[in-house]
Structure 1
Amino acid sequence: MSQSPIGIFDSGVGGISIWKEINQLLPNESTIYLADSKNAPYGTKSTDEILALCIENTELLLAKGSKLIVVACNTATTNAIQVLRENYPVKFIGIEPAIKPAALNTKTKKVGILATEGTLSSQLFQNTSKLYASGITVIEQIGEGLVTLIEAGRTNSKETRKLLAEYVEPMIKANIDALVLGCTHYPFLIPTLKTLLPSTVQIIDSGFAVAKQTKSILETEGLGDFDSSAGSHQFFTNADVEVLSSFVPQANTEISFLDF
């Protein structure tokens, strides 16, 4: 099993931000990535719809021999990962907004979170906020429209910048000193966000923490691939291959359309 790939899925290209962190930390590991762009965004769907999509993605990754599955989507994690863990024999690694480090390190006691509706309304997110953000003012903002723009390859468009400016303005006025990115698509917006936010605002995402957890689970379970050569990577999308290709490094990668 050690030479089997790590399976990763997301509601599109957003999870590539997680894949990059995993690949950087674990360059020997091979991966299979599913970009469910046809059904993006997950954040506007019902819990039942999200769960059905996550089950389909999981079973496809298992059929392709994945030894571990990273749910590289905040909305999927907060709405479905518990059910996945209860029903499948592999280890699952999820991702949720990094409220804890933001709350522990804020000096103004005010942090912002930009996320999807599906993440912000989930019970898991609410529980995490109550646990770690007591006494902290958390300014929540649904990033409506951002995932759709990123999936269309318009990360650096004027429309994207306009939306971001609108979303972060109340946070700036409230004197936040940390902005938590609660969607794996949003790290691709960091260059634009840095031009909109004061330099005193720290932008926090969960990518590196997920990569470290992946490494830890592989070591604990004896599933790590310690081959000296670089891993190989398969990327599948059920939408535009060209858009996915624009987010993926070309070395040791195979990018294909798959109707799932």
Structure 2
Amino acid sequence: MTKPIGFFDSGVGGTSIWKEVHQLLPSEDTIYLADSANAPYGARSKEEILRLSIKNTEILLKHDCKLIVVACNTATTNAIAYLRVNYQVPFIGIEPAIKPAALQTNTKKVGILATKGTLSSSLFFGTSKMFAAGIEVLEQEGTGLVELIEAGKVNSDETKELLKTYLQPMLDEGIDHLVLGCTHYPYLIPVLRQIVPNTVVIIDSGEAVARQTKAILEQNGLLASLRPSQHTFFSNAEFTVLEQLVGGGNTTVKFLQF
């Protein structure tokens, strides 16, 4: 099946998911849509997030995508139910990995760093209620982090100081797992490792999403045969950072105004 897998996010963050999918499924063509002009989604209303998710989905469908990965926690928690009902292709969503953190914690205290849009969603509430009974979940909005990552300032002093401000109260409470509830945040792991002790396990959703993507493609008979793959990345804003994250090899980065 030579049709591409589609991805969309509010910017460059979902490339952390794209990398995991590409590593597991190297023969699959991909199209990635970075809606950076509207980043971050986390501070937007549910109605705005749904509208943007519909727009992104329809662009990817025009490119004949056979499956769409909603590579954004906020868009998943606020829009994926609608997308699955109203479009025919399979959708893979991104949810904060509360379940593994809750199962593995020894201190019974888990931290989650996420956007307001994810933390305030009914889907996140339901997941936490289902899997984190008896576990104290310490939530922290990562206000400002997406903007810094989009600007290529992952290793800046500003980013480090902001992370320290967000993480220290969780560390003082004794968390032993930190869940990254935004696909931008895996790019912060090297910086996070400078702040949190080695006893704190950092969890993101990328590998699990890749496995689920493969499973759904197999179930629907959509897997590509062994072949060289092509990857196209579209952005509606400055794409220097996007190119830095995914450029090289047989990757083509294009600018698309949408």
Which SS does the other structure have where 1:43 is aligned?
coil
Q: Structure 2-normalised TM-score?
A: 0.99
Task: Give the deviation of 1:243 after TM superposition.
Answer: 1.6
Distance 1:148 1:35 in 2: 13
* Structure 2 match to 1:203: 202
**Counterpart for residue 241 of structure 2:** 243
In the alignment, the residues of structure 2 paired with residue 249 and residue 29 of structure 1 have an alpha-carbon distance, to the nearest angstrom, of 17
2:39 aligns with 40
Query: Is 2:119 the counterpart of 1:94?
Result: no
User: What is the deviation of 1:249?
Assistant: 3.5
Match of 2:26, SS?
Answer: coil
Counterpart in the other structure of 2:169? 170
- SS of 1:81 mapped into structure 2: helix
Partner of 2:253: 255
Matched residue, 1:217: 216
Write the mapping of 1:49-68 to structure 2, written as runs, cut at 5 A.
49-68=48-67
SS in 2 for 1:44: coil
Match of 1:11 in 2: 10
* Superposed CA offset, 1:174-195 (max 9, x none): 1110000000000000000001
- Aligned-residue Cα RMSD (Å) equals 0.6
Give the equivalent residue in structure 2 for 1:138: 137
| Alignment gaps of 5+ in structure 1 | none
Paired with 2:209 and 2:131, the residues of 1 have a C-alpha distance of: 19
Task: Count residues in correspondence.
Answer: 258
CA distance in 2, matches of 1:209, 1:192: 23
Deviation at 1:170, TM superposition (A): 0.5
Note the alpha carbon deviations across 1:24-82, whole angstroms, 9 max, x for none. Answer: 00000000000000000000000000000000000000000100000000000000000
1:150 Cα deviation after fit: 0.4
**Residues 240-259 of structure 1, C-alpha deviations (whole Å, 9 max, x = no match):** 12121011131111111111
Check conservation: 2:7, 2:32, Cα contact below 8 A. yes
**Contact 2:113-2:178 at 8 Å conserved across structures:** yes
Cα distance in structure 2, aligned partners of 1:143 and 1:241: 23
Distance, in Å, in 2 between the alignment partners of 1:223 and 1:56 is 24
Alignment TM-score, normalising by the size of structure 1: 0.98
Alignment map for 1:82-121 (pairs within 5 Å): 82-121=81-120
SS of the aligned residue for 1:141 comes to strand
Q: Which contiguous aligned blocks of 4+ residues in structure 1 show a shift greater than 4 angstroms?
A: none
Deviations 1:178-228 (A, max 9, x none): 00000000000000000100110000000000000000000000000012x
What runs of 5+ residues in structure 2 fail to find an aligned partner? none
Q: How far apart, CA to CA, are the structure 1 residues paired with 2:242 and 2:62?
A: 22
Q: What CA distance in whole angstroms lies between the structure 2 residues aligned with 1:97 and 1:259?
A: 30
Question: Could you tell me whether the CA contact under 8 Å between 2:247 and 2:253 is conserved in 1?
Answer: no
Q: Using the alignment, how far apart are the partners of 1:86 and 1:60 within structure 2?
A: 18
1:14 is paired with a residue of what secondary structure? coil
Percent identity between matched residues is 65
